[in-house]
Structure 1
Amino acid sequence: MGHQLNERMRFLEINEETIACLRHWKPMIDEALPSVLNAFYAHIAQWPEAGGMFKNPGMIDQAKNAQIQHWKKITAGEFDESYVASVRRIGHTHNRIGLEPRWYIGGYGFITNRIIEKVSHTIRDGFRKNRAVERADLITALNKAVMLDMDFAISTYLEAAKDERLSLLGNLSGNFEANVGSVIEDVVQTVEELKQVSLTLDELARTTTDKTTLVSQAADQASSNSAGVASASEELSSSIREISSQVQVSSKVSREAGAKAQMVTQAMHALREQTNAITKVTEFINDVAEEINLLALNATIESARAGEAGKGFAVVASEVKNLASQTTRASEEIGSQLMQIQKACAESEEQVSQIAETIDNLNQAVESIAAAVEEQSAATNEIAQNVNVTSNAANQVRDNIGMVAQGALQTTDSSRAMLNATEQLSNKTTELRTQLDRFLSEIKAA
């Protein structure tokens, strides 16, 4: 410190003559200081930036006393370690209270000018010779001392400000590194997670696109199948309607056949009754023929007994006998034919009964078929409705799947864009980390 003091004094040309001059005018300067300082504090009160730092008169008195003691060191020429410590305290105080150097320099100018004015009046009013030289020596000595004082005070002020700035920068850099560095690490981790999410999203989007393609194809196939089923259902419905119509015709025909079979049965029954009656007549004829034959036989016998007289009667008896025989044969033939007719009638009646029974069964079957056809028609209509619903649903699925596919494609594009953005963000984050480390290094090196 002594070396710095000596170098600064040598640079400002503060020598023994300067110190002697200051000591010579010390009584007058010390005497003028109280009034000069009063004027100074009255003067700075006009500027709140400076005067506002003194909250009450006690603070002003304390500042005045410190300044007087410091000026006494200057006028005594005591430029030693205690003087340096005093001027450094001033510099630290100015830095602590935030007094800018402009107020310090201006204040020093005000006080110095007022001291010179006070002492110059004394020189002018006295009977000394070479008053101008004395005044010039005083001004030179005061300027040198004031410059030395300001040099130390402002250097101390700047050093303290620099120390505070470095401390603040150190704290800021530490906090910045701790907070921003942590944020950057979080950002890096988040970017990496976002990158993985983007990759997963891209994979899911591609899978969704593939699946939607398959579903769209299945929907198209379902729609096509539904159209085929609808067409087949329509053909089936048409066939069922035709079958129903034919069944109705068949039912009508079978009912008519049953009625006719009933009529045939009745006719065959009547025929059998008539043949029975004819049989009785033929039996009666046969009995009459036998009686006639017996009578013819008796007549023949009697004609033989009569001889020639009975020949004519014998011829008639013979003819009657022949006719009776023919009648008997005819009645027997008729009886045989009637038996065959009765047998045929019985067989026909049995067959007609079987036919009637078959027709009844057929009617029942037709009715069952009609009921089944009606049920099938209802089922077919329901199938057609369901097919239409299925076809519409398939078309909606196809349309919706198309929208899903489009959304999946957009998601793929977005995920890839996000992936590119995350990669760029990752690169920028790495660059930011590098710049941050460089910035902190520069701050620490400042």
Structure 2
Amino acid sequence: MGKCPFSFLHGLTSRNASKEALANHSIDRHDYNHTANASYHTLEGHDELNEQMRMIDLSEEDLSLLRQMKPIVEKKIDYITDQFYNTVLGVSKLEAIILEHSSIERLKKTLREHIIEIFNGDINEQYIAKRLAIAKIHKRVGLEPKWYLSAFQNLQNVFITVIYNEMNEDSERLKVVQTVTKLLNLEQQLVLEAYEKENIREKEEQYLAVKNELKQKIAEFSGELVDLSIDTNAAVEQLVASSNEVNNTFRRTAASALESQGMATEGHGHLGSLTDQISLIYESTHAMERSINELSSSSKQIQKIVAAVQDIADQTKILSLNATIEAARAGVHGKGFSVVAGEVSRLAEDTKNTVVRIGELTHQSGSLTIQVVDEIRKVQELTKSGKVQSIETSQLFSDIVNSMQTSTQEIVAVEEEIKVLIQTIEGIGTTTAQTAASAEYFKSATENL
């Protein structure tokens, strides 16, 4: 397992550090009383880090002072690490991280080595590399910077307390506190900068992964959009063609409807003329019936005259017979009357025969007249029925004309709506084509991400 997340924390001396230790490792004032010409530690190829150390005033004298303090730190290292982990283990979240990734004893050992190494006073490539490794470990195990800074602040408080308890002169205390604070600050700078770089690296990796995934998804989506646009465009073209065909059919239907409407109107006019003719026929049959009735009346009068003439002929014959009888009685004197009576008798017989013939003809004419009247009445009934049917047919034609006129108007309106629909579909087709072009451009753009 890697180093403890808190292996960067350091300790100093205990409250009970012996007078002898302080005497053996007393700090020479000359070593840390700096002047304006104090020399600063520099690392080749680390210009920015050198500027950081100059900015916090970390000099070679400070590093020398750390080396002088090392024996005291080595002697009190167990106390320092125990105090540190007592504080850290008081936070349940930090204790859970430690127990998940290592053990307390192992981390204490690592911390001891790390603190003693700090007081070697050697800030070099190896020193920097270890701090960067510590930051990566902190990041990997999920230690947040706030806990790192909190632990550092706690350690700094321990250092200050120990320094003030173990040193007698304020000037010595101040110098040691400043040196330790500078060192802790440099540690924080290195680790937090590594934290930041690691975060940036992770974010760049996440961004790259998201970018690649997004690029792939966009490419897939663009491909699907292109295919969909092509299919949609083809469907729209087919729909436009079908709509044009329907429109042409509607135009033909509208033309046929208009033609049918004209024919129906013309038929309605002819039917009106037929109705008028039937009405005339109906009136003519009425007039014919009146004439036949008058003829029948005349025939009846002729029959009466024939009967009267027949009576006269009969009486004339009787008179002729009487005259013949009287002529016979007269003898020679009545012979002329006999001839006349014979002629009168013959005339009366001829008259009677003629009248009988006229009667027969008149009777036959009456019968025929009755038949003609019956036929005329039948024609009247048929004409009347035809007139009614003609009126009904005329009304039906009128309704057909009105219906066809309404249908024609509706067809014309539908034709206009279809024209608008075709224009709309063509607009959709244009938009779909533009969408397909945009999708192609979008796909090309994602490929260049």
TM-score between the two structures when normalised by the length of structure 2:
0.71
RMSD: 3.9
SS in 2 for 1:12: helix
Looking at structure 2, the residues matched to 7 and 205 of structure 1 have their Cα atoms a distance apart, in angstroms, of 86
Match status 1:123 vs 2:163: yes
SS in 1 for 2:448: helix
Pair 34,215 (structure 1): closer, same or farther in 2 beyond 3 Å: farther
The residue aligned with 2:345 is: 338
Q: Which runs of 5 or more structure 2 residues have no equivalent in the other structure? A: 1-42, 119-125
Is the 1:29–1:115 contact (alpha carbons within 8 Å) kept by the matching residues of 2? Answer: no
Looking at structure 1, the residues matched to 44 and 292 of structure 2 have their Cα atoms a distance apart, in angstroms, of 142
Match status 1:256 vs 2:297: yes
Match status 1:165 vs 2:202: no
Q: State the shift of 1:341 in Å.
A: 3.8
Q: Which residue of 84, 88, 102 maps to 2:136?
A: 88
**Matching of residues 196-275 of structure 1 within 5 Å:** 196-233=238-275, 235-275=276-316
Is the 2:306–2:359 contact (alpha carbons within 8 Å) kept by the matching residues of 1? Answer: yes
- Number of residue pairs the alignment of both structures matches: 384
Pair 35,196 (structure 1): closer, same or farther in 2 beyond 3 Å: farther
The residue aligned with 2:416 is: 409
> Deviation digits for residues 193-227 of structure 1, max 9, x if unmatched?
12321332144224313432441343244235414
Looking at structure 2, the residues matched to 117 and 168 of structure 1 have their Cα atoms a distance apart, in angstroms, of 44
Is the 1:88–1:156 contact (alpha carbons within 8 Å) kept by the matching residues of 2? Answer: yes
Q: State the shift of 1:398 in Å.
A: 0.3
Pair 238,68 (structure 1): closer, same or farther in 2 beyond 3 Å: farther
Looking at structure 2, the residues matched to 356 and 405 of structure 1 have their Cα atoms a distance apart, in angstroms, of 71
Q: State the shift of 1:91 in Å.
A: 2.3
Q: State the shift of 1:405 in Å.
A: 0.7
The residue aligned with 1:394 is: 401
Is the 1:244–1:374 contact (alpha carbons within 8 Å) kept by the matching residues of 2? Answer: no
Specify which structure has the higher proportion of helix. 1
Looking at structure 2, the residues matched to 336 and 34 of structure 1 have their Cα atoms a distance apart, in angstroms, of 191
Q: Which residue of 356, 372, 377 maps to 2:384?
A: 377
Is the 2:156–2:181 contact (alpha carbons within 8 Å) kept by the matching residues of 1? Answer: yes
Looking at structure 1, the residues matched to 405 and 313 of structure 2 have their Cα atoms a distance apart, in angstroms, of 78
Match status 1:287 vs 2:335: no
**Matching of residues 430-441 of structure 1 within 5 Å:** 430-439=437-446, 441=448
Looking at structure 1, the residues matched to 73 and 445 of structure 2 have their Cα atoms a distance apart, in angstroms, of 56
**Matching of residues 146-161 of structure 1 within 5 Å:** 146-161=188-203
Pair 283,165 (structure 1): closer, same or farther in 2 beyond 3 Å: same
Q: Which runs of 5 or more structure 1 residues have no equivalent in the other structure? A: 1-5, 46-50, 294-323
Match status 1:189 vs 2:218: no
Looking at structure 2, the residues matched to 328 and 37 of structure 1 have their Cα atoms a distance apart, in angstroms, of 198
Looking at structure 2, the residues matched to 194 and 69 of structure 1 have their Cα atoms a distance apart, in angstroms, of 77
Is the 2:251–2:415 contact (alpha carbons within 8 Å) kept by the matching residues of 1? Answer: yes
Is the 2:310–2:355 contact (alpha carbons within 8 Å) kept by the matching residues of 1? Answer: no
The residue aligned with 1:110 is: 150
Corresponding letter in the other structure for 2:291 = S
**Matching of residues 299-318 of structure 1 within 5 Å:** none
Pair 176,37 (structure 1): closer, same or farther in 2 beyond 3 Å: farther
Pair 61,7 (structure 1): closer, same or farther in 2 beyond 3 Å: farther
> Deviation digits for residues 284-328 of structure 1, max 9, x if unmatched?
244335xx23xxxxxxxxxxxxxxxxxxxxxxxxxxxxxx2xx42
Which structure carries more relative contact order (alpha carbon 8 Å, separation 6+)? Answer: 1
Q: State the shift of 1:387 in Å.
A: 0.7
Q: State the shift of 1:375 in Å.
A: 1.8
Identity of aligned residues (%): 11
Is the 1:209–1:409 contact (alpha carbons within 8 Å) kept by the matching residues of 2? Answer: no
Is the 1:240–1:377 contact (alpha carbons within 8 Å) kept by the matching residues of 2? Answer: no
Looking at structure 2, the residues matched to 425 and 387 of structure 1 have their Cα atoms a distance apart, in angstroms, of 55
Looking at structure 1, the residues matched to 81 and 419 of structure 2 have their Cα atoms a distance apart, in angstroms, of 86
Pair 341,276 (structure 1): closer, same or farther in 2 beyond 3 Å: closer
Pair 41,336 (structure 1): closer, same or farther in 2 beyond 3 Å: farther
Is the 2:237–2:429 contact (alpha carbons within 8 Å) kept by the matching residues of 1? Answer: yes
